[in-house]
Amino acid sequence: MLERVEAMTTEALMADIGQRARAAGRILATAPGEVKDRALRAMAAAVREAAPEILDGNARDVDAMKANGQTAAFLDRGTLTEERIEAIAAALEDIVALKDPVGDVIAAWERPNGLKIERVRTPLGVIGVIYESRPNVTADAGALCLKAGNAVVLRGGSDTIHSNRAIHASLQKGLAVAGLPEDAIQIVPVTDRAAVGEMLKGLNGNLDVIVPRGGRSLVERVQTEARVPVFAHLEGLVHIFVDKSADLDKAVAIVKNSKLRRTGICGALETLLVHKDIAGSHLPAILDALNQEGCEIRGDDGIRAFGPGILEATEEDWSTEYLDKILSAMIVPDLDTAIAHIAKYGSNHTDCIITEDQAAADRFQAEVDSAIVLHNASTQFADGGEFGMGAEIGIATGRMHARGPVGVEQLTSFKYKVHGTGQTRP
Amino acid sequence: MLERVEAMTTEALMADIGQRARAAGRILATAPGEVKDRALRAMAAAVREAAPEILDGNARDVDAMKANGQTAAFLDRGTLTEERIEAIAAALEDIVALKDPVGDVIAAWERPNGLKIERVRTPLGVIGVIYESRPNVTADAGALCLKAGNAVVLRGGSDTIHSNRAIHASLQKGLAVAGLPEDAIQIVPVTDRAAVGEMLKGLNGNLDVIVPRGGRSLVERVQTEARVPVFAHLEGLVHIFVDKSADLDKAVAIVKNSKLRRTGICGALETLLVHKDIAGSHLPAILDALNQEGCEIRGDDGIRAFGPGILEATEEDWSTEYLDKILSAMIVPDLDTAIAHIAKYGSNHTDCIITEDQAAADRFQAEVDSAIVLHNASTQFADGGEFGMGAEIGIATGRMHARGPVGVEQLTSFKYKVHGTGQTRP
**Three-state SS string across B265-296, please?**
CCCCEEEEEEEHHHHHHHHHHHHHHHHHCCCE
pLDDT tens-place string over residues A125-145: 999 999 988 899 999 999 999
B415, closest residue in chain A (CA to CA): A371
Of B30, B103, B416, the CB nearest to A372: B416
Instruction: Say whether B118 sits in a helix, a strand or coil.
Output: strand
Task: Calculate the alpha carbon distances from B287 to B277, B303, B306 in Å.
Answer: 16, 10, 8
Q: Given CATH 1.10.630.10, say whether it is the number of domain B238-380.
A: no
Answer whether A380 touches B (CB < 8 Å): yes
pLDDT band at A6 (very low <50, low <70, confident <90, very high): low
pLDDT tens-place string over residues B270-295: 999 999 999 999 999 999 999 999 99
What is d(CA B334, CA B58) in angstroms, rounded to the nearest whole number? Answer: 53
CA distance B373 to chain A (A): 5
- The pLDDT score that the predictor gives to residue B308 is 86
Q: With CA atoms as reference, report the closest residue to A143 among A120, A175, A103.
A: A175
Q: With CA atoms as reference, report the closest residue to B354 among A419, A115, A416.
A: A419
Mutation target among B26, B257, B400, B412 for the A interface, most CBs of A within 10 A? B400
Beta-carbon neighbour count of residue A349 at 10 Å? Answer: 25
Q: With CA atoms as reference, report the closest residue to A371 among B24, B30, B106, B119.
A: B119
pLDDT band at B190 (very low <50, low <70, confident <90, very high): confident
Does B415 contact A373 at a Cβ distance shorter than 8 Å? yes
pLDDT band at A193 (very low <50, low <70, confident <90, very high): confident
pLDDT band at B1 (very low <50, low <70, confident <90, very high): very low
**Domain at A238-386: CATH code:** 3.40.309.10
Decide the pairing of beta strands B105-110 and B116-123: antiparallel
Instruction: Say whether B352 sits in a helix, a strand or coil.
Output: strand
Interface of A with B in 230-289 (CB under 8 A): 247, 249-250, 253-254, 256-258, 261
Task: Calculate the alpha carbon distances from A37 to A100, A103, A185, A413, B386 in Å.
Answer: 9, 15, 15, 20, 38
What is d(CA A51, CA A135) in angstroms, rounded to the nearest whole number? Answer: 13
Contacts of A345 (CB under 8 A, 6+ apart): A237, A239, A271, A318, A319
What is d(CA B405, CA A141) in angstroms, rounded to the nearest whole number? Answer: 31
B214: alpha, beta or left? (left if phi > 0; alpha if psi -120 to 50): left
Q: With CA atoms as reference, report the closest residue to B409 among B31, B122, B142.
A: B122
Contact indicator for B401, A401 with CB cutoff of 8 Å: yes
Contact indicator for A54, A47 with CB cutoff of 8 Å: yes
What is d(CA B186, CA B180) in angstroms, rounded to the nearest whole number? Answer: 13
CA torsion sign for B58, B62, B65, B71 is positive
Q: What is the largest CA-CA distance in chain A?
A: 80
Task: Calculate the alpha carbon distances from B422 to A110, A195, A248, A334, B324 in Å.
Answer: 43, 47, 10, 22, 64
pLDDT tens-place string over residues B72-113: 888 888 999 999 999 999 999 999 999 999 999 999 999 999
DSSP calls for A32-73: -HHHHHHHHHHHHHHHHHTHHHHHHHHHHHHHHHHHTT--HH
User: Which residues pair with residue A396 across a beta bridge?
Assistant: A404
CA distance A399 to chain B (A): 6
What is d(CA A211, CA A194) in angstroms, rounded to the nearest whole number? Answer: 17
Of A380, A388, A421, the CB nearest to B425: A380
What is d(CA B176, CA B193) in angstroms, rounded to the nearest whole number? Answer: 30
- Burial readout B58-75 (b: 16 or more C-beta within 10 A, e: otherwise): beebbebbeeeebeeebe
Beta-carbon neighbour count of residue A226 at 10 Å? Answer: 22
CA distance B413 to chain A (A): 6
pLDDT band at A183 (very low <50, low <70, confident <90, very high): very high
Q: Tell me the backbone φ, ψ of residue B397, rounded to 5 degrees.
A: -115, 0
- The pLDDT score that the predictor gives to residue A391 is 83
Of B254, B373, B418, the CB nearest to A424: B254
Does B365 contact A417 at a Cβ distance shorter than 8 Å? yes
CA distance A415 to chain B (A): 5
Average pLDDT over residues A372-397: 94
Q: What are the sequence ranges of the domains in chain A?
A: 2-231+406-417, 238-386
For residue A198, is pLDDT > 60?
yes
User: Which residues pair with residue A121 across a beta bridge?
Assistant: A414
For residue A1, is pLDDT > 50?
no
Helices (DSSP H) in A68-135: which residue ranges?
Answer: 72-78, 82-97
For residue A261, which residues of chain B lie inside 8 Å, CB to CB?
A: 424-425
Answer whether A164 touches B (CB < 8 Å): no
Decide the pairing of beta strands B151-155 and B185-187: parallel
For residue B6, is pLDDT > 70?
no
Question: What are the strands, taking DSSP E only, across A203-312?
Answer: 209-213, 238-242, 269-275, 296-299, 311-312
What is the percent of chain A where pLDDT is above 70?
A: 98
Burial class (CB in 10 A: 0-12, 13-18, 19+), A234: middle
Answer whether A96 touches B (CB < 8 Å): no
What is d(CA A199, CA A184) in angstroms, rounded to the nearest whole number? Answer: 16
For residue A242, which residues of chain B lie inside 8 Å, CB to CB?
A: none
* Same fold yes or no, B2-233+405-417 and B238-380: no
Beta-carbon neighbour count of residue A384 at 10 Å? Answer: 21
What is d(CA A395, CA A266) in angstroms, rounded to the nearest whole number? Answer: 9
Answer whether A367 touches B (CB < 8 Å): yes
- The pLDDT score that the predictor gives to residue A7 is 64
Q: Tell me the backbone φ, ψ of residue A296, rounded to 5 degrees.
A: -80, 135
B112, closest residue in chain A (CA to CA): A388
Average pLDDT over residues B162-179: 97
How many CA atoms does the CB half-sphere of A94 hold within 13 Å? 18
What is d(CA B75, CA A110) in angstroms, rounded to the nearest whole number? Answer: 39
Between residues B111 and A192, the one the model is more confident about: B111
For residue B5, is pLDDT > 70?
no
What is the domain class of B2-233+405-417 according to CATH?
alpha beta
What is d(CA B129, CA B146) in angstroms, rounded to the nearest whole number? Answer: 13
Does B422 contact A377 at a Cβ distance shorter than 8 Å? yes
Q: With CA atoms as reference, report the closest residue to A274 among A317, A359, A335.
A: A335
What is the domain class of A2-231+406-417 according to CATH?
alpha beta
Angle between helices A33-49 and A82-97 (to 10 degrees): 170
